[in-house]
Chains A and B, each alone.
Chain A
Amino acid sequence: MDAIILQILNGLDKGSAYALIALGLTLIFGTLGVVNFAHGALFMIGAFCAVTLQRILTLSHVVIDDTKKDFLGNPLKVEVPYIYDWFGQETGAAIIDWAVPLAIIFAIPVMIIIGMVMERGLIKHFYKRPHADQILVTFGLAIVLQEIIKAYYGANPIPAPAPEAFKGSYDFGALLGFDANTIIYPYWRLVYFAFAAVVIAAVFAFLQFTTFGMVVRAGMADRETVGLLGIDIDKRFTMMFGLAAAVAGLAGVMYTPINAPNYHMGMDFLVISFVVVVVGGMGSLPGAVLAGFVLGILESFASMREVIEFLPGINQVVIYLAAIIILLTRPRGLLGRKGVMED
């Protein structure tokens, strides 16, 4: 029982990341009809927003320490962040420690701008082209973006830790009456899950309860009629692309303490996210979220030692196996709507 609870918890944070990326993908597909293979790259760029802010906060000047030597035997050059000079060492260190949460504020405008530039500069030219063309151009864009990041930040992962206050893990075992240490879960992953829930709720609320959201939903249902009513739907869709980019970016920012970001992390999530979108039902926002969590939890269960021993290799194929079964029984996915991607 404790092992089951543990894997459900594991699946929740993994599912959170899948759900957030798939949500953005579905927003773009539902509004613009574009299959965006560059969406994983937006997740990666979001993570590098956290790295960038961390680097900005740790911009330093050099102080020579004669008492220590560097690797060549010369006096050691110690880098002292400017922020220490401005706010004192204690406050400066605390600000640097909170770089990842602070990066949320930094990432939102950056990601919205990147998303809108991407849409206006490249993707809008492919609206009327076949999906294959859209996939090729967005996949190419993803490769270009990740190579740019690699050229600047290198190929190695860059650590971007969580604030000290969120280090360690919570003992659910003790809470639920199991032995101590049987069900432990890192604080930051709990934060990630809560954060994902808030973002998903905010996106749904935005689409459901605002005039802007109402117009977008109307545009998703019938773009031409909304246009005939004199509403500039293209402008709103561009903003939706920016919003989707911001959602992916925020997912990336908060993911950095879970796994040190590297230029390739977007590609690692991209394929699974597409599976999530298809399993959830093309164009269905609740479907994307539901499938994200379902597949995340399934993947966690398939990674259990007992399961791998019984079915070797199942941990590597379980998501695709589940996708096949779901699509065979429900061809439109879990919550797919009739008429989407069926013309």
Chain B
Amino acid sequence: MSKSNFTRRGLLKTSAVAGGATLAAPQFFSPSWADGHAGYLNAPQGDTVTLGFNVPQSGPYADEGADELRAYELAVEHLNGGGDAGMMNTFSSKALTGNGVLGKKVAYVTGDTQTKPDAARASAKSMIEKDGAVMITGGSSSGVAVAVQALCQEAGIIFMAGLTHSNDTTGKDKKANGFRHFFNSYMSGAALAPILGANYGKDRKAYHLTADYNWGYTTEEAVRTSTEAMGWETVAAVKTPLTQTDFSSYIAPVLQSGADVLVLNHYGGNMVNSLTNAVQFGLRDKQVNGKNFEIIVPLYSRLMAKGAGANVKGIFGSTNWHWSLTDEGSKAFVKSFGEKYGFPPSQAAHTCYVQTMLYADAAERAGTFNPCGIAEALEGFEFDGMGNGPTLYRAEDHQCFKDVLVVKGKENPTSEFDLLEIVEVTPAAQVTYDASIFGGELGTCNPGA
């Protein structure tokens, strides 16, 4: 006959000990859950490995999120041996064979970031806890990327960032478990400045309108630094609320300031609206200081450029990748994507596809899904054949260094996809910087168990 030990005093003691332990070692995941995953968190069981695709499926960036998801589905198809293998044919590493990853078929779950850090963290947490995702990737905003990257670091999961352009993602907020393939604000500034100098001269007065959040600040700083270094003067820099839709009251005073260049440090809907408003005001038809007034959009997205319509014509900006690139990797990806979906991929789709391939390749080379093994395989990894030419995943900050594209809104587009033309492929060496300039500490890799 068994005897129950359940007493009021016993319960209180147990509660006190458990409570004390919880307070002493606060952690993201419950101890009992982590106990079942010795070695590293979410070690794949059975014959599949699950990846978590965390993209904006609702909210203003839903179209960009949908394109990211298409790219992820294509990557999974290629990894599992389906389709035409896309960039696996051109990738310089030959570790991937189309037999899944480490012999396991790739499965995936999706989450909706809503382009809100809190929602993105919640969906990533759910994919890690409930679905056993061994890697989280995606997103269309730096705020989301920084938040989810921190969560993955805490949980012990690899985070392969999607579209995030702020210096902070691999600067002051970098983490050992986080990796970014996309370029950043600094690189945009460094690539754009010489082209702006060559086209608009070195004696210009710039007026910045800057989205009032993390990405806006780093982009303004990058463009200011690089243009001032070549002789431009910054007349004013005005922060605009992220929720702003009509920018007329910010644009109207620009001409009064004596500026002859307007820099729109805006992305997405902000960019579409501010550029549309600026063109409406006829700024580009004006002559100031004896020069044609010019507008610059440091970060272009083809999907967003579509929203601005004809207003993008002739306006310079930078982009991570464009479907019109003619290297073998880009051509292979455009063919795979275009034949499957009927239209060319966006830069967001490209970076997400490449990140998935790089993760899978790193797992194969490391021989494990352990985040620390994967991090080691990615750090300092040099590769080619994925668009953008030879690329380095720098060990010091987990940032990819590759060629950056300077683009211009096309004057005579032949289709709704043909909105931007590449005016310069800036070599990686020209946009490379010292890893220490943005501060932050990588810390140590967390395997999560």
CB neighbours (8 Å) of A257 from chain B are 280
- Count of chain A to chain B residue pairs whose CB atoms are closer than 8 Å in the complex: 128
Interface residues on B, range: 35 or more
Does B309 interact with chain A (Cβ within 8 Å)?
yes
Stretch among A34-42, A100-108, A123-131, A296-304 lining the B interface = A296-304
Q: Which residues of B contact A169 (CB under 8 A)?
A: 280-282
* Contact yes or no, B249 A10, CB < 8 A: yes
- With A72-B338, A181-B288, A303-B250 known, 8 other A-B pairs at CB within 8 A are A71-B334, A71-B338, A157-B307, A169-B280, A260-B273, A262-B307, A300-B248, A316-B243
Query: Do A70 and B415 contact each other (CB < 8 Å), given the known contacts A6-B256, A13-B248, A260-B309?
Result: yes
Q: B35 near A: Cβ within 8 Å?
A: no
Q: Which residue of B lies closest to A166 (CB)?
A: B280
B379-417: CB near A (< 8 Å → 1, else 0) gives: 000000000000000000000000000000000001101
Q: Can you list 25 A-B pairs with a CB-CB distance of less than 8 A? A: A6-B253, A10-B249, A10-B252, A14-B248, A71-B334, A72-B339, A76-B415, A150-B62, A154-B63, A155-B59, A155-B63, A161-B309, A169-B280, A169-B281, A184-B255, A184-B282, A188-B280, A258-B276, A260-B272, A260-B307, A268-B245, A303-B249, A305-B253, A308-B238, A308-B239
Q: B227-261: which have CB < 8 Å to A? A: 236, 238-239, 241, 243, 245-246, 248-250, 252-253, 255-257
| B249 contacts A158, C-beta separation under 8 Å | no
> Inside 8 A of B323's CB, which chain A residues have their CB?
71
- Please, which residue of chain B has its CB at the minimum distance from the CB of A9? B252
Asked if B434 is an interface residue, CB under 8 A from chain A, the answer is no
Question: Is A7 on the interface with B (CB-CB < 8 A)?
Answer: yes
Which of chain A's residues have a CB closer than 8 A to the CB of B276?
159, 258-260
Flag if B241 contacts A315 (CB, 8 Å): yes
Q: Which residue of B lies closest to A302 (CB)?
A: B249
Shortest distance between the CB of B17 and any CB in chain A (Å)? 46
Check if A156 is an interface residue, CB within 8 A of chain B.
Answer: yes
Minimum C-beta distance from A292 to chain B (A): 14
Seen from chain B, the residues whose Cβ lies within 8 Å of a Cβ on chain A are 59-63, 236, 238-239, 241, 243, 245-246, 248-250, 252-253, 255-257, 269, 272-273, 276-277, 280-282, 285-286, 288, 303-304, 306-311, 323-324, 334-335, 338-339, 343-344, 414-415, 417-418
Contact across chains for A316 and B269 when beta carbons are under 8 A apart: no
CB distance from A165 to the nearest CB of B (A): 14
Q: Pick the contact of A181: B280, B286, B339, B415 (CB < 8 A).
A: B286
Cβ of A168 under 8 Å from chain B: yes
Nearest chain A residue, comparing its CB with the CB of B293: A181
Task: Please name the residue on chain B nearest to A306 by beta carbon.
Answer: B253
Interface residue? A215 (CB, 8 A): no
User: Is A330 close to B, CB under 8 A?
Assistant: no
In the complex the two chains form, is A7's CB within 8 Å of B339's CB? no
Residues of A in contact, count (CB < 8 Å): 49
Complex interface: chain B residues within 8 A of A3 (CB): 253, 256
Q: How far is the CA of A14 from the CA of B250 in the complex (A)?
A: 13
Residues on B with beta carbons closer than 8 Å to the beta carbon of A262: 60, 269, 307
Interchain nearest-CB distance for A295 vs B (Å): 13
Residues of A within 8 A of B272 (CB): 157, 260
- Most A Cβ at <10 Å: residue of B62, B281, B307: B307
Chain B residues in 8 Å Cβ range of A331: none
Residue of A nearest to B275 (CB): A260
Interface pair A259/B255, CB less than 8 Å apart: no
Within the assembled complex, what's the spacing in Å between the Cα atoms of A308 and B338?
A: 47
Contact B414 A68 (CB under 8 A): yes
With the chains together, A189 CA to B276 CA distance in Å?
13
Chain B positions within 8 Å of A9 at CB level: 252
Q: Is A76's CB under 8 angstroms from B249's CB? A: no
**What separation, in Å, do the CA atoms of A262 and B303 have in the docked complex?**
14
A332: interface (CB < 8 Å)? no
- B56 CB → nearest A CB, Å: 8
Residues from chain B with Cβ under 8 Å of A308 in the complex: 238-239
User: In the bound complex, what is the Cα–Cα distance between A11 and B248 (angstroms)?
Assistant: 9
Among A3, A68, A159, A188, the most chain B Cβ lie within 10 Å of the Cβ of A159
Contact check, B248 vs A184: say whether CB atoms are below 8 A apart. no
Assess the B310–A161 pair: CB atoms within 8 A.
yes
A149–B245 CA distance with the chains assembled, in angstroms: 19
Mark contacts of A234-246 with chain B using CB atoms, 8 A cut-off: 1 yes-contact digit, 0 otherwise: 0000000000000
